[in-house]
A and B are shown apart, each in its own frame.
Chain A
Amino acid sequence: MMPGARRAYDSGLIAAFVGSALLFLVPQFFFIRQSLLPNLAPGVVGDTLSLENYRAIVTDAFYWGVFGRTIGLSVVSVAVGLLLAFPTAYLLARIRSRVVRWLIVLLLISSFVSVVVKVLGLTLLLGTDGPVVRALHALSFGLWDLRLVHNDASVAIGLVQYTLPLLVMILFGVIQNVPPSLEEAALVHGASDWRAFRRVLLPLLWPGALAAALIAFNMNMGAFTSAVLLGGGRVLTVPIMIQRKIILETDYPNAAALSLLLTLAVVLVNLAALKVRPGAFAATHPG
């Protein structure tokens, strides 16, 4: 490559880096500082730096429960999401048919519509007056009065709705990079379908699947649409607590401390996952 061309690429990178660094680091710096300041009254922040806000959260068993529930809901939703996304992505990637094109169109439409709209549909469907509850009630001769909203399960359903299109799209790309001939070779040599999946496909998919799972996990950890609308204020997650601190209590320092602890939890889970599988983040598309 000519030096001039390399210089052009370098200056592009510098421009992108400086712009992103301003955007990524400057607001975060003030935010971290804010988390170290005392909250004197709603909206009034003092100016002595201390770790008091963190101490108050870390020593409060209530917050441990909230963090545990947030991580638990996120993990369960990712697991369910992967279980649903894998067969879907496999079908889209492997079947050669014109129908697949329309299935992909449907998937993209679903990914385009905001999760609020989907959650709205879910509340209609699962609500106490909704068709699902009425059908179960009728089918069980009035014995089964299932509650499908305002609990952990409904929040998890909302989170799966949130991340499933993205999981399918990522796994679709990953599965396409595995030539079908590899599986066929295993089958020709007498492996069962299950064995071909476990010994051939899974090891090749694993890094991409883990990267997809981490992206979905991170999305779940920061989401509160489904927790607010499907949890109905009964399912307390960290994002909901942060929102309450801001909107109800106008307590910015404590919201900042809680936010940074949430970010820390996300980073720790990601680092642990990378330890299990180094390089999981290598250029998986998207992200």
Chain B
Amino acid sequence: MRISGKHIAIGAGALFSYVFLLIPLAVVVGASFDDGAGAYFRFPPEHLSLRWYRELPAKYWHGLELSCLIALAAAATSTLIGALAALGIAKGSLGRSALLETFFRLPLQVPFVVTGIVFLQFYYLLFDAWRVSLIGSYAGFVLAHLFFCIPYAAGAVGSVITDDLRRIENAGRIAGATEWRVFRRLTLPALKPGLFSGFFYAFIVSFGDVPVSVFLSTGGVVPLPVEIFQTLQFEFDPAVLSISSVVVVLSALFIVFVQRVVGLDLILPGARR
């Protein structure tokens, strides 16, 4: 194959993107091995040591655990709601309703920082009215995260409900299958990539969120990204480098696990070659 200007442009653009996306992660992991006094971050590291891994404060581990639990609940619930919504819109008696589709996408129009304040003030009101305390609570985080996770999940599931699927289902009915059997044997398998990718996107957005969660965190109940953000904003603690590196490594292990066990094309349709 002839190497043309097009190949060079595409290759250079892709190479730059990958360097741009991965270098900061490499720098964080590299700097976490520096045995600095703690006043500044140093990269490249000067004296290699595992000091900041041994002295990793428990609050970061709690933050990581909390973030995982929030993201799991928000992703699972929003995928369920998104699936019910997408199926109902595609197959319910209303017919495909553009108005309903727009409704489930509404939160995409609300900036994250605004979502954070909206829920902060709402939780204050709930506390004043009924003494329900949601600020700094697990349920409070999950509810606010559901707000911005539902559109991703509904969109992902909606994108796999196609006309082809309808024809296949009709074929099943003509062949004498019951509605339940059509759903279980034909609809559900077709939905699988949508469910997986909806869950995955919702998990990503929730797991990395700062602008919403920062307003809902109090005392000891702080998700990891907010913990890191607040540390960077107010003081310098080299331990954020080591916990960040832990996140990078865990993410890498998780993705490779997904690739090996369920396959990437369930998350990113068409990813398997």
* Chain A interface (Cβ < 8 Å from any Cβ of B): 1-2, 4-6, 9-10, 12-17, 19-21, 23-24, 26-28, 30-31, 34, 83-88, 90-93, 96-98, 100-101, 103-125, 127, 129-131, 160-161, 164-165, 168-169, 172-173, 176, 193-194, 197, 215, 218-219, 221-225, 228-229, 238-239, 242-243, 246, 252, 255-256, 259-260, 262-263, 266-267, 270, 281, 283-287
Contacts and interface: CB of A to CB of B under 8 A. Distances in A.
Interface string B185-226: 000000000000110010010011111001100000000110
A161 B27 CA distance: 14
A110 B12 contact: no
A118 B267 CA distance: 23
B255 A10 contact: no
B229 interface: yes
B33 interface: no
A10 B252 CA distance: 40
Contacts of A108: 255, 264, 267-268
A164 B21 contact: yes
A125 B118 contact: no
B113 A243 contact: yes
Contact of A27 (B122, B152, B183, B232): B122
B136 interface: no
Given A10-B94, A17-B100, 6 more contacts: A1-B173, A84-B20, A116-B225, A127-B41, A173-B269, A263-B110
**Nearest 6 CB-CB pairings of A with B:** A13-B88, A222-B111, A121-B24, A87-B13, A114-B208, A27-B122
B259 A101 contact: yes
Given A24-B106, A96-B273, A173-B268, A120 B85 contact: no
Given A169-B268, A283-B159, A129 B17 contact: no
Contact of A222 (B43, B106, B113): B113
Contacts of B81: 16, 19-20
B57 interface: no
B113 to A, nearest CB: 4
Contacts of A246: 117, 120, 215
A215 B108 contact: yes
Q: Is the interface of A mostly helix, strand, loop or mixed?
A: helix
B25 interface: yes
A117 B14 contact: no
Contacts of B120: 246
Contacts of B24: 117-122, 124-125, 161
A87 B18 CA distance: 11
A123 B183 CA distance: 51
Contact of B208 (A4, A115, A164, A228): A115
Interface in B72-110: 81-82, 84-85, 87-89, 91-94, 100, 102-110
A93 B17 contact: no
A91 to B, nearest CB: 4
B88 A16 contact: yes
15 contacts: A30-B121, A92-B14, A97-B273, A108-B264, A111-B204, A116-B210, A117-B225, A117-B228, A119-B24, A124-B31, A131-B44, A255-B117, A259-B118, A281-B102, A285-B156
Contacts of A164: 17, 20-21
B50 interface: no
Nearest to A214: B108
Contacts of A222: 110-115, 211
B80 to A, nearest CB: 8
Nearest to A243: B113
B208 to A, nearest CB: 4
Contacts of A101: 259, 264, 271-273
B113 A225 contact: no
Contacts of B5: 193
B121 to A, nearest CB: 6
B88 A120 contact: no
Contacts of A14: 88
A6 B88 CA distance: 8
Contact of A118 (B9, B25, B173): B25
B61 interface: no
A234 B5 CA distance: 41
A113 B114 contact: no
A12 B122 contact: no
